[in-house]
Amino acid sequence: MGEAAVFFLHGLAYAGLLFLVSSGLTLVFGMMNVLNFAHASFYMLGAYFAYSILHYTGNFWLALLISPIILLFIGAFVERYLLRKVHVHGHVHELLLTFGLAYIIQEAVKLLWGTTPQAMPLTGLLADTVNFFGVVYPVYRLFIFCLSALLGLGMALLLFKTRIGIIVRAAVDDNPMVDALGINVPLVFMGVFAVGAALSGFAGVAAGPLLSVFPGMAGAILVDAFVVIVMGGMGSLGGAVLASFIIGELQSFGVLLFPDFSLALIYMLMALVLVLKPEGLFGEKQ
Amino acid sequence: MMASRNAMLRRVGLVLGLVILAVMPWLLGSYQLRLFTEAVIFSLFAVSYNMLLGYAGLLSFGHAMFFGWGAFSFAVALNHIPGIPLVGALALAVASATVMGLVVGVLLLRVKGTPFALLTLAFNALVFAIGIKWQSVTGGDDGLGVVAPPLHLGLGQINVSSGANLYYFTLLIVGAAIAFAWYFTRTAMGQSVLLIRENEERMRFLGYNTHVSRLILFVLSGALAGLAGAFYAILNAFVSLDAVSIDMTTKVLLMTFIGGTGQFLGPVAGAFFFTYVQNFLSDLTDNWPLIMGALFIAMVLWVPGGLAGLAAKLSRGRSDDDQDGTLAGME
């Protein structure tokens, strides 16, 4: 019983991490119809920036604050000076551009920080364990889960309950009309992309102490995040929540129950969902 | 008048090209010939990829699953079926890639656009995962050694595992496959896929079964990629999981895009360009992907039609029956 609870919590922590990554991905896709291949690379950059900040200041909270802000600016820059330029050529070129960007970031990270995995040691409260219904459990994993729940909730409130959210959603539905109303639509899209990048930065900082920081970390999570947004339904936040939970738990219990097939299990489940419902769990029919 | 002169020029160009290809082993040293052979093999891989991307407007992030599947099928057939002739093993590789194309195609072609691209990526990852785990067959991380048997002809046998013999054998079979792909895109079947890309609804109203047309193209593309994979195995005398990795998919995507998706020979140019530039850059620096990535982004930004698009732009004004150098169908 105790062991199952630990694995459930492990799954929950990974689900939180996956949601942090895939929420930004799904936000950018849902709002701008751009599949950002560099999203996981932003996540990796977030982790490496956090690693450096932690290395020089010793303060994790500072890393958690500053690293996403740096990513916010990187995201804004990428949208303004690269993505916008190829928009006229259509979605494939937008996608290919982010693809090339991922290629570059991958190499740049190796060049700047080396190829050996780096640990991000935690101190204080975050390094502690708690007694959680009779199970001794590290605080940090619970923290990741809470952080992702909080950010997810905040994002939903922002999108569906505020004026900013109304403008963003309207800009997606009827771009010329919103433009005619005097709202700077390109700025809105730049903002959406930047926020997506910042979210991936948060995910990267959160992942650092858990998985350590290494150049392969982008590739490792990219496919999982793609599975999440396909399974949940492209562009659906609710779908991303559910699919993150399923994939997170499947990863965790898969390792416990079928150590040889845990990797394949996820793809098989995805294929099953696809056969039954091609548009994903919460997706809209094409 | 103009058209017949163009046709003449084309014929002369074709003959000249074939002559140059035929004398390559006398012009190049063994290392350079091997590189050239590799570029020929990747040409087929890129051409097969462009059948999806350029002709059907299907962006795939999983084409290496066919390439690797073909390579491993070839190696496994040679290792486990005693006395199997070279042609038999090649045929088996193509057949198994065809079956795989059918299975994967039926599942994946139900969705279009970005979800399709993502699912091909996930399937590629699945095949890779199988490759790692199924160690007894694939050799896992160690890969498999491949000793290509000699090619049996009526009178005797020829060793085609390296050098000029391998080059000619590759040129013959891979060249024939590329020619077949070209022929296919000119048939009514191939052209209908092009029209489906432009306006699927209208084609359905005209009575075409668009799903079946797309599936046939997908399967053929997979089979040709499998053949390319088998030749890649002969060339290296070895198959590793690298052949089925996402990196291999990345490679073919870069080749195809750099060459240009708008014209049939664009990907061939891209395969040669990529193979030689990679070879050159990796001699200079270990961080060659950084330069390659920057080059790729520069092309996406400023040369959206690729090398073929650039060539078409430079010679604009001449009559040209090839299709336009832009991508469509990803909505």
Question: Most distant CA pair in chain A: distance in Å?
Answer: 60
Q: How far is it, in rounded angstroms, from Cα B180 to Cα B72?
A: 24
Alpha-carbon distance A132 to nearest alpha carbon in chain B (angstroms): 35
ipTM over 0.85: no
Check residue A281 and report its DSSP letter: S
Is the Cβ of A161 closer than 8 Å to some Cβ of chain B? no
Contact A267 B294 (CB under 8 A): no
In a mutational test of the B interface, the residue from A34, A113, A223, A255 whose CB has the highest number of chain B CBs within 10 Å is A223
Task: Write down the pLDDT at residue B321.
Answer: 42
Task: Write down the pLDDT at residue B2.
Answer: 58
Determine the residue of chain A that is closest to B295 in CA distance.
A100
Contact B125 A267 (CB under 8 A): yes
Alpha-carbon distance A90 to nearest alpha carbon in chain B (angstroms): 8
What are the angstrom distances between the C-alpha of B134 and each of A67, A260, B129, B158?
A: 40, 10, 8, 34
Alpha-carbon distance A230 to nearest alpha carbon in chain B (angstroms): 6
Q: Per-residue pLDDT tens for B6-29?
A: 888 888 888 888 888 888 888 888
Q: Which residues contact B279 (CB under 8 A, 6 or more apart)?
A: B35
Q: Per-residue pLDDT tens for B261-309?
A: 888 889 999 999 999 999 999 888 888 888 888 988 998 888 888 888 8
Q: List beta partners, residue B318.
A: B316
Q: Per-residue pLDDT tens for B152-175?
A: 777 777 887 778 888 999 999 999
Q: How far is it, in rounded angstroms, from Cα B297 to Cα A268?
A: 34
Stretch B54-61: mean pLDDT: 87
Alpha-carbon distance A260 to nearest alpha carbon in chain B (angstroms): 7
Task: Write down the pLDDT at residue A227.
Answer: 86
In chain B, which among 91-150 make CB contacts under 8 A with chain A? Answer: 107, 110-115, 117-119, 121-123, 125-126, 129-130, 132-133
| Residue among B112, B118, B326 whose CB faces A226 most closely | B118
- Low-confidence residues of chain A, pLDDT below 70? 1, 260, 263, 285-286
Residue B73: name the closest of B222, B286, B262 by CA: B222
